[in-house]
Chains A and B, each alone.
Chain A
Amino acid sequence: MADRVLSTRKSEGSDKKETVKLSVDSDQLMWVEKYRPKRLADVFDQEQVVSGVQALMKRPREMPHLLFAGPPGTGKTSIALCIAYEIMGEAWPDYTLELNASNERGIETVRERIKNFASYGDRREGIPFRIVLLDESDSMTSDAQTALRRIMEESSKTTRFILTANYSSNIIEPIQSRCSVFRFSRLAEADVVQYLKEICKREGVKFEKEALEKIYEATEGDMRHALNMLQAASTLGDISSESVNKVTGLSGKSKVADILDLAFQGEFQDARNKMIELLQVGGMSEHDFIKFANEALTRSDFASSIEAIQATAEADYRLLQGTNPDIQLSAYLATLAKIGTEVSRSKKKI
């Protein structure tokens, strides 16, 4: 692996930090992996978390289980992977089990797969313990979490757990009390823009500062999303407001917003076909659809429509029962179409 660390003086922006270091893995095509920090020192944000973790790294053998809580794209997984690298070096992938929400993580998996992995002690030099990285662990059922709690206790001689979650409150108390909890804050605009700038320079792409700010705004501080957006925009030449505009609509999230707009305009059939396409061809889960619909609703003209909010909550609840997503989401879009038509009718009367 070819690693190179670039150091650049910060010319403007945030005044709390002097330099941004880029960690570069030039084997990677996609920037989101190419520029993922490898060592804790490469992490450009979350100073509090990083200094806390670095303190723990002075005596790695005594490291407790960790719980990282915070919004998506703020570096939770990256810092967890950095820890694995700091402790075990290049051999880390062999001693790390990474499971995220899309892996089967019911109680069976916890009992079998995690337990098997975690109970195995390695007598290799430089491998003080194994690491189990459970991403999005707040999506695990509480039964599975309870099973996990036992395993964390039983295997603490051989294994450390790093759990990430959007909200620590969704993690059962007994697990929280067994972990050092680190809270990740949303990345600041100045920091993200500065980081994107460095990447543009490294990639030889010209940019407008306003365009980078626009990327930050569109991705709400989610670094992975911002990097993917930046890389897509870079194919259109300079990173300008125009090129960014062309890529902000690409994500599945913004497509959900488009579908809601169509529904509110009364274009039910069109909205439904696009919804089916997004799920069946685009691979979005029905639960994500309703999650993003809820987010889009709060930004739409219908943000204060009690009916629309109720319909969203109802659809979410029904989907959780394991019902037919096509029927439930179609019924949801039909309700939004009804609300949209009623509102436009009453506006006309006025």
Chain B
Amino acid sequence: MMLSERVRPRKIALLIGNEQSRVQLIKWLKNWKIGSKAVLLIGPPGVGKSTSVYAAASELGYSVVEYNASDVRTKKRLSEALSGTLENASLFGEQEKMLIFLDEVDGLSGRSDYAGIEFILEFIENATVPVAMAANVEDDPKLRKLSQKSQLIHFGPVNEDLIYIYLKTIAKREGLPVSEKALQQIAVACRGDVRFALNMFQTLIGDSLSSFQTDKQFFSEASAMAAILDSNSLEEAIARLRQYDASPLEKVRAIFDSIVSAKSVSPEERARALELISDADILLRQINKNQRWRLLRYLDRYLALALISRKLKAADSSIPWNLRLAIWNDGRVTKEFLSELPEDFHVGKNEFAVFYLPYFSFYFKNRSSDLTKFLQKYEFGDSEKRVMLKIATEH
């Protein structure tokens, strides 16, 4: 469904950037034998960690069993999941080689309710199959033990020129009329995150997506969502939602996006549908907070009620791409302002955002010499300058 999923390279040689790291990964898996270390891939989001694992595995004849932070959150559940996997492995061990991939291991350790790191340590030391893990940061103290016991492979942001050429190739292959300038903008704005670049790219091309040649997986995901939205009765919608293979959060988000971007619904219909999504959101919050998984059974019901008979179309994101670009580019600079400036003005962040920053921006726009002084005082650079000048005009 998502472009980033559809164009995900199936061969490790077809990824862009991080060539050395990919070579290391392939070498590790090729030479893996019982007793070898697990690998820990470290790097920012969207630079190809998971994709490399999947591609390497498929090229060397492994099938991947993946767990990520949202699947397993406690030691008990993790051990259940992993031991189940290993039993299956011994059953099918003859025919199929298996690789276990633990994504977002830093996401696990960040949670106070999580006692899984020790378990993972124990698990990787006794594993009879190759284990690959991925994390965004290395200096997390809770990950230190894990990195000592694993072979580390670092991934960095992908070069923006490479991303630009990559996007251009896709545009050309798919026959999409996208301006070079827009592609350049995306390549710069994504800061080395290829997945993000693809998502922005997809938002940019919008509806022309439907004319894309589709592969099997894309088709099945898109049609699942379309089928859900097309349900004729409440029971049908609930049944289809239940079959839809996505996390509760993703389900809520997907249907929320579809309702928000729907053009042909009446204000009453939209308000009613969003009220139900808001109820679903409350429910989900209760479930997550108190671990009341039992309540999940009502979630599909809320979602089904929200979408039934409203003639919705699947939407990839309900936020226009230029706004997403602004959130990405400028939002983080605003956050920087809010973490550094309010203290000097003896106010809180929230008040500074509302009653200070917009006026400062307006003032500096017309007093460039004072802006220079201000930027120097806080050792701010060009991006801070750009955003400071923009705030008063933007919204």
Indicate if the CB atoms of B323 and A282 lie closer than 8 Å: no
Check B162 for interface membership: any CB of A closer than 8 A.
no
A136 to B351, CA, bound (A): 11
Within 8 A of B (CB), among A330-350: 330-331, 334-335, 337-338, 340-342
Distance to closest chain A CB from B288 (angstroms):
9
Indicate if the CB atoms of A281 and B350 lie closer than 8 Å: no
Residues of B within 8 A of A334 (CB): 267, 270-271, 274-275
Q: Pick the interface stretch among B131-139, B196-204, B341-349.
A: B341-349
Check A321 for interface membership: any CB of B closer than 8 A.
yes
Residues of B within 8 A of A169 (CB): none
A266 to B358, CA, bound (A): 27
Within 8 A of B (CB), among A269-292: 269, 272-274, 276-278, 280-285, 287-288, 292
In the complex with contacts A250-B359, A282-B353, A330-B366 CB distance below 8 A = no
Indicate if the CB atoms of A338 and B270 lie closer than 8 Å: yes
Residues of B within 8 A of A277 (CB): 323, 326-327, 394-395
Indicate if the CB atoms of B348 and A136 lie closer than 8 Å: yes
Q: Pick the interface stretch among A97-105, A109-117, A180-188.
A: A97-105
Indicate if the CB atoms of B271 and A335 lie closer than 8 Å: yes
Indicate if the CB atoms of A276 and B354 lie closer than 8 Å: no
Contact of B362 among A30, A72, A247, A282 (CB under 8 A): A247
Contact of B395 among A225, A281, A288, A340 (CB under 8 A): A281
Distance to closest chain A CB from B314 (angstroms):
17
Distance to closest chain B CB from A214 (angstroms):
15
Residues of B within 8 A of A236 (CB): 366
Q: A211-252 vs B: 1/0 string, CB under 8 Å?
A: 000000000001011001101101110000000000100111
Residues of B within 8 A of A272 (CB): 260, 318
A335 to B270, CA, bound (A): 8
In the complex with contacts A250-B359, A318-B282, A135-B348 CB distance below 8 A = yes
Indicate if the CB atoms of B374 and A252 lie closer than 8 Å: no
Indicate if the CB atoms of B267 and A224 lie closer than 8 Å: no
Indicate if the CB atoms of A228 and B256 lie closer than 8 Å: no
User: Number of residues in A with C-beta < 8 Å to the partner?
Assistant: 64
Within 8 A of A (CB), among B337-389: 337-338, 342-351, 353-360, 362-363, 365-367, 370, 373-374
Q: A313-333 vs B: 1/0 string, CB under 8 Å?
A: 000001001111001101100
A244 to B275, CA, bound (A): 40
A274 to B395, CA, bound (A): 7
Distance to closest chain B CB from A173 (angstroms):
25
Residues of B within 8 A of A328 (CB): 278, 281
Indicate if the CB atoms of A337 and B282 lie closer than 8 Å: no
Distance to closest chain B CB from A123 (angstroms):
28
Indicate if the CB atoms of A330 and B260 lie closer than 8 Å: yes
In the complex with contacts A98-B346, A280-B331, A341-B395 CB distance below 8 A = no
In the complex with contacts A231-B363, A283-B337, A268-B270 CB distance below 8 A = yes
Indicate if the CB atoms of A341 and B278 lie closer than 8 Å: no
B271 closest partner in A (C-beta): A338
Check A29 for interface membership: any CB of B closer than 8 A.
yes
Residues of B within 8 A of A281 (CB): 326-327, 330-331, 334, 394-395
Interface centre among A231, A278, A327 (most CB of B within 10 A): A327
Check B392 for interface membership: any CB of A closer than 8 A.
yes
List residues of B whose CB falls within 8 A of some A CB.
Answer: 252, 256, 260-261, 267-268, 270-271, 274-275, 277-278, 281-282, 285-286, 289, 318-320, 323, 326-327, 330-331, 334-335, 337-338, 342-351, 353-360, 362-363, 365-367, 370, 373-374, 391-392, 394-395
18 contacts between A and B (CB under 8 A): A77-B346, A231-B363, A232-B362, A232-B363, A252-B358, A253-B355, A276-B323, A280-B327, A281-B331, A281-B334, A288-B350, A321-B286, A323-B285, A331-B274, A334-B270, A335-B275, A337-B271, A338-B271
List residues of A whose CB falls within 8 A of some B CB.
Answer: 29-30, 32-33, 72, 77, 81, 98, 100-103, 135-136, 222, 224-225, 228-229, 231-232, 234-236, 247, 250-253, 255, 266, 268-269, 272-274, 276-278, 280-285, 287-288, 292, 318, 321-324, 327-328, 330-331, 334-335, 337-338, 340-342
The 7 closest A-B pairs by CB, nearest first: A235-B366, A252-B354, A102-B349, A338-B271, A283-B353, A331-B274, A228-B359
Add 15 more A-B contacts to A101-B348, A273-B323 (CB < 8 A): A29-B373, A30-B345, A81-B346, A225-B355, A235-B365, A235-B366, A250-B362, A269-B261, A282-B334, A282-B391, A283-B334, A283-B349, A322-B285, A328-B281, A331-B277
